[in-house]
């Protein structure tokens, strides 16, 4: 009997060494929910230095050609002095409303709700640009557009863009150049852009 018990014990030990161990295991699935708050990212330029060429400025003044032909002058017959009657004011464009367009001046990325719009507003925060000798230029009006032919206004709205592809747009400034009496740098005009989820 002892021998049989010994043989059975050896057989059980050998069997336990040859069989695969049973692994302990536990499985759990986790549902992940992430809440994203709305966000607006405004890309803009903090400083813009522009040079308007004499040809472009001449176009504003004369409608296209800086050598503006006043036509024919035929003053009345007289002595040796003739008044040709030039009237350059008739050739000058409207210097109180010179449109300056800054294309691709801003971009906005926004993440809002399914029905949330993004609003962009432009405000003139310093309307006077100054140069030497007391010469000035005024920003009388400022507007933005979405660059896609959409509305142009001081406030525009568009659907939230998501974080990948921004909405691009232009800034349009209406300048009063009637007090721009010297060539040179006119500085310190400021406009402010504000992007908001509405």
pLDDT at residue 55 in the model? 80
Query: pLDDT for 29-41, tens place per residue?
Result: 999 999 999 999 9
d(CA 160, CA 37): 13
In a domain, residue 156? The reply is yes
User: Are the C-beta atoms of 197 and 116 separated by less than 8 Å?
Assistant: yes
Strand partners, 137: 129
Task: Report the Cα 133 to chain-centroid distance in Å.
Answer: 34
* pLDDT score of 189 more than 80: yes
* pLDDT score of 95 more than 90: no
**How many folded domains does the chain comprise?**
1
pLDDT at residue 129 in the model? 97
Task: List Cβ neighbours of 66 (8 Å cut-off, separation of 6 or more).
Answer: 54, 55, 58, 59
pLDDT at residue 38 in the model? 93
In a domain, residue 27? The reply is no
In a domain, residue 16? The reply is no
In a domain, residue 7? The reply is no
**Per-residue confidence band for 114, with pLDDT thresholds at 50, 70 and 90:** confident
Long-range contacts (CB closer than 8 Å, 24 or more residues apart) made by 146-154: 147/103, 147/104, 154/121, 154/122, 154/123
In a domain, residue 69? The reply is no
* pLDDT score of 66 more than 60: no
What CATH number has the domain bearing residue 151? 2.60.40
Question: Average pLDDT, stretch 79-102?
Answer: 72
**Per-residue confidence band for 11, with pLDDT thresholds at 50, 70 and 90:** low
Question: Average pLDDT, stretch 112-141?
Answer: 94
* SS3 label, residue 157: strand
DSSP for residue 13: H
Task: List Cβ neighbours of 52 (8 Å cut-off, separation of 6 or more).
Answer: none
* pLDDT score of 142 more than 90: yes
pLDDT at residue 94 in the model? 81
Domain containing 157 equals 41-64+90-197
pLDDT at residue 23 in the model? 83
Residue whose pair of structure tokens reads 């640009």 in the numeric block: 129
* pLDDT score of 166 more than 60: yes
Looking at per-residue confidence, does 57 or 26 come out higher? 26
């Amino acid at each position: 009997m002892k021998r049989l018990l010994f043989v059975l014990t050896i057989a059980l030990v050998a069997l336990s060494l040859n069989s695969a161990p049973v692994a302990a295991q536990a499985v759990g699935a986790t549902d992940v929910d992430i809440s994203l708050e709305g966000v607006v990212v405004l890309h803009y330029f903090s400083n813009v230095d522009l040079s308007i060429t004499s040809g472009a400025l001449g176009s504003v003044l004369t409608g296209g050609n800086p050598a503006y032909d006043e036509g024919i002058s035929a003053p009345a017959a007289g002595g040796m002095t003739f008044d040709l009657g030039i009237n350059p004011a008739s050739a000058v464009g409207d210097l109180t409303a010179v449109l300056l367009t800054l294309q691709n001046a801003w971009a906005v990325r926004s993440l809002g709700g399914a029905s949330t719009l993004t609003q962009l507003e432009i405000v003139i925060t310093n309307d006077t640009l100054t140069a030497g000798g007391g010469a000035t230029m005024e920003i009388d009006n400022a507007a933005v557009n979405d660059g896609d032919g959409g509305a142009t206004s001081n406030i525009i709205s568009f659907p939230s863009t998501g974080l990948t592809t921004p909405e691009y747009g232009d800034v349009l400034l209406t300048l009063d150049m009637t007090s721009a009496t010297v060539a040179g740098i006119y500085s310190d005009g400021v406009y402010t852009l504000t992007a908001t989820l509405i």
